[in-house]
Amino acid sequence: MARQVDADLLIIGGGGAGAKAAIEAHDLGLHVVMLVKGFLGRSGCSIFAGNLNWFGPPGDGARPRSEAERQKQTLEFLAKYTHYLGDQEYMKNAARFTFDHFYPWLEERGLYILRDDDGAVVVDLPHGTQAWATKMGMSGQIIMDMMRKEIFRRGILVLEETAATSLLTAGGAVVGAAALDYRRGEQIVVRAKATILATGHSNYLSLRSTGTREGTAAGWVMAFRVGCALQNIEMQWYHVSDVAWPRSWMRLHLYPNPLPGTAHQTRLYNRDGELFFDGTSVPRNPVPYIMQLKALVQQVRAGKARLDGGYYTSYRHIEPEVVRGHIYQTQFVEKLGLDPLRDVIENGVTWHMNVGGIRVNGQTMQSDVPGLYVAGSVSALVTGGLPNVMYDGYVAARHAADEIRGRPLPRLDQSVVERDLARVAAYFRTDPEGRLLPAQVIKRIRTVMWEHMNYIKSDATMRRGLERLQRIRQEALPRMHVGSPSRRFSYDWIEAVDAEDMLDACELMIRFSLHRKESRGGFFREDYPITDNARWLRHIVGRLENGALRLEELPVDLRYAKPAEEVADFFAVDY
């Protein structure tokens, strides 16, 4: 029998979105329970956030900027950053929150935003679009450490190393979740008046990816299974400037973005030592990431780089004080015996963030299913950005609090609970035929995604990928076993559950991708190398209906910014 825990509000995920929601809801008087697959504030991607959007503040003596100008810049940036698929009203509100709440709330509690010796905030020159907590690369780690401690200080119940395995429904509403505490080897049922799903990006799906091992798309799949719509999940954002080796360091961003205290940005060189990308050379370019990807594709096609290596980041032209004093990443370069002021660092592409995710209401964070709110990068609203995910958590907690105040705890549907617990329990098996560790199966899935769903893809490669995934489902899933009869810290057990989720997510993602017949930003198809705003500036939305995926297209919010061109060569536009 599973242990049962009751809560007013269940929060699933311990990154920026979940943590902010927990604090807000607790401070509004709710009894909050958190389920965190990793460690609170030490798992997921929030700890990776290096740059913090700045664009201001208005009236800053050094760089006077009007409120209107800041808003415009932020929106232009975010619209291009999401290839015009982002919800613009949401982006506007989130940008305002960044200034009105994110920075002051954290600074009041002790966050240190890097200053120079005269007290000015260190920004990129000349525009001042980013700020950093102590160093480039450290911001998220420091912020999340603060959030972790703020949560423990409040006595909020946090179940760490405990993964939600399904959302529980009763009478058409979400009433909690089933979970696996893999540290203790125990299944848990959490019953709650409302649930906030904040499980982060689905970015552990390919062999080279920036996500942590929890980024197995559980959030998407759990929500999809209870009837939520997924939106634009084909829009996978790849990242060019990640180290090629060693393997565990592939999530080390050697950002192409503006750097602290300098007008320079990193440069990329191909196999032959030719410069092929420098963010500063792209005029008024707010999204160097995407421009970098496009530049890399051209190098790969010319045989001068590979997706997994053979091109290099350089810091050689950047002031030594900046490289040594302000950038966390360069110590890794030194650890490999290289000199960041002289040597170049080999890079490879990673599967990074998702533009899409679970479709939600951008004003309330409500999903299509009653009782379920969605916050942070698991939703279709957020592509990245620690301030944005905290905005989501803040909004979701406030709306959930309003909705559930005074309401009794819901009744669980025991047949649903039993079915979900049994599904997970069945994965704890030690002796199937032809045994495979779940980690081996996950590696196969990630290999298929790397080989067939990489940045350069086409109808043919994706269909081949789909076939290979189906074969894994039929042949490998039944052979998964946990490596020991011990239930203590059986990561094998949770990985077996993950493997099934990953297969579902990857298949869905390929189906969405086959539907979008154009190329846009992080999404590139060799067979459709045009950005077709006339036909495809649309959301692709899919949900489960009668056991099958039903796709539809819905309009995009373009109220503040829209692309100039109807149809364009993919390589000619800067988004």
Partner 1 sequence: MVRATVFKFAPDVDPAPHYETFEVPLARGMRVLDVLEAIREDLGQPISYRWLCGVKKCGLCAMTVNGRPCLTCWEPAEPDMIIEPLAGFPVIRDLVVDRDAVDARLLDVDPFLHRPEDQPYRGFPEPLSGAAMRRAGTMMNCIECLACVSACPVPRERFIGPAALVQLARWAFDPRDGADRAALAVAGGIAECADCGDCTAACPAGIPVKEIAIAGLRELCIRSGYPDAGPAPQEKCRLVVPRGRDR
Ligand X SMILES: Cc1cc2nc3c(=O)[nH]c(=O)nc-3n(C[C@H](O)[C@H](O)[C@H](O)COP(=O)(O)OP(=O)(O)OC[C@H]3O[C@@H](n4cnc5c(N)ncnc54)[C@H](O)[C@@H]3O)c2cc1C
Per CB under 8 A, residues contacting partner 1 are: 38-39, 42-43, 47-48, 57, 99, 103-104, 107-110, 112-119, 121-122, 133-135, 138, 140-142, 145, 149-150, 152-153, 183, 212-214, 245-252, 331-332, 335-336, 435-437, 439-440, 442-443, 482-492
The three-state (H, E, C) secondary structure of 32-77, written as one string:
EEEEECCCCCCCCCHHHCCCEECCCCCCCCCCCCCHHHHHHHHHHH
Q: What is the DSSP secondary-structure string of 147-199? A: HHHHHHHTT-EEEETEEEEEEEEETTEEEEEEEEETTTTEEEEEEEEEEEE--
Burial group, residue 101, by CB count within 10 angstroms (0-12, 13-18, 19+): middle
437 makes contact, choosing from ligand X, partner 1, none, with CB < 5 to 8 Å by partner type, with partner 1
Report if residue 356 touches ligand X, rule: CB under 6 A.
no
Site for ligand X in 334-353 (CB under 6 A): 353
Q: Is 117 within 8 Å of 134 (Cβ atoms)?
A: no
57 binds, among ligand X, partner 1, none (CB under 5 to 8 A by kind): partner 1
Minimum Å gap between C-beta 116 and ligand X is 21
**Minimum CB–partner distance for residue 209 and partner 1 (Å):** 11
Q: Assess 279 for contact with ligand X (CB under 6 A).
A: no
Quick one: which of 65, 83, 191, 251 contacts ligand X (CB under 6 A)? Answer: 251
Stretch that binds ligand X, among 15-23, 328-336, 485-493, 545-553 (CB under 6 A): 15-23
Residue with smaller CB distance to ligand X, 279 or 563: 279
Q: Among partner 1, ligand X, none, what binds residue 384 when CB lies within 5 to 8 Å by partner kind?
A: ligand X
- Complex with ligand X: residue 219 or 371, whichever CB lies closer: 219
Name which of 11, 14, 17 is nearest 393 in CA terms.
Answer: 17
From the list 107-115, 376-384, 464-472, 518-526, the region that binds ligand X by CB under 6 A is 376-384
Q: How far is the CB of 243 from partner 1 (least distance, A)?
A: 9
480: left (phi over 0), alpha (psi -120 to 50) or beta: beta
Q: Which of 122, 198, 395, 448 binds ligand X (CB under 6 A)?
A: 198
Q: Give the separation between CA 57 and CA 54, rounded to whole angstroms.
A: 7
Q: Least distance from C-beta 527 to ligand X, angstroms? A: 29
Structure token digits, residue 67: 């409120």
209 CB-near residues (< 8 Å, 6+ apart): 203, 215, 250, 251, 350, 351, 352, 446
433 binds, options partner 1, ligand X, none, Cβ within 5 to 8 A by partner type: none
The whole-angstrom separation of Cα 26 and Cα 46 is 21
What residue 94 binds from ligand X, partner 1, none (CB within 5 to 8 A, per partner kind)? none
Give the burial string for 333-354 (b: 16+ CB within 10 Å, else e).
Answer: beeeeeebbeebbebbbbbbbb
Cβ proximity to ligand X, 10 vs 462, nearer residue: 10
| CB-nearer residue toward ligand X: 260 or 563 | 260
Tokens of 538: 């649309």
Tell me if 111 contacts ligand X by CB under 6 A: no
Report if residue 37 touches ligand X, rule: CB under 6 A.
yes
Q: How many CA atoms lie within 13 A of 542 on its CB side?
A: 26
Decide: is 214 part of the binding site for ligand X (CB under 6 A): yes
50 interacts with ligand X by CB under 6 A: yes
Are 15 and 198 spatial neighbours (Cβ–Cβ below 8 Å)?
A: yes
Which entry of partner 1, ligand X, none binds 145, CB below 5 to 8 A by partner kind? partner 1
- Shortest Cβ 115–partner 1 spacing (Å): 4
From the CB of 355, what's the least distance to partner 1, in Å?
23
Residue 359 CB, nearest distance to partner 1 (Å)? Answer: 28
Q: Which is nearer to partner 1, 145 or 553 (CB)?
A: 145
* Inter-axis angle of helices 139-153 and 16-27, nearest 10: 30
Cβ 248 to partner 1, closest distance in Å?
4
Does residue 507 contact residue 518 with C-beta atoms inside 8 Å? no
Considering only residues 71, 88, 199, 329, which one is a binding residue for ligand X as defined by CB under 6 A?
Answer: 199
39 near 13, Cβ under 8 Å?
A: no
User: Within 13 Å of residue 316, how many CA atoms lie on the same side as its CB?
Assistant: 12
- The answer to the question of residue 15 lying near ligand X (CB under 6 A) is yes
- Which of partner 1, ligand X, none is residue 12 near (CB under 5 to 8 Å by kind)? ligand X
Among partner 1, ligand X, none, partner that 18 touches (CB below 5 to 8 angstroms by kind): ligand X
Q: Is 495 in the site for ligand X (CB under 6 A)?
A: no
Contact 86, 127 (CB under 8 A): no
Q: Which residues of 214-237 are buried (b: 16+ CB within 10 A; e: fewer)?
A: bbbbbbbbbbbebbbbbbbbbbbb
Residues near ligand X (CB under 6 A), total: 42
Which does residue 286 touch among ligand X, partner 1, none (CB within 5 to 8 A, set by kind)?
Answer: none
Nearer to ligand X (CB atom), residue 393 or residue 465: 393
Q: Does 385 bind ligand X (CB under 6 A)?
A: yes
Torsion sign across C-alpha atoms 508, 514, 520, 525: positive
Widest distance between CA atoms in the chain: 70
Nearest to 1 by CA among 421, 398, 419: 421
Measured from the CB atom, the residue of 397 and 573 that comes closer to ligand X is 397
Contacts with ligand X by CB under 6 A lie at: 12-18, 35-38, 43-46, 48-52, 140, 163-164, 198-201, 210-211, 214, 218-219, 251, 253, 353, 376-378, 384-386, 389
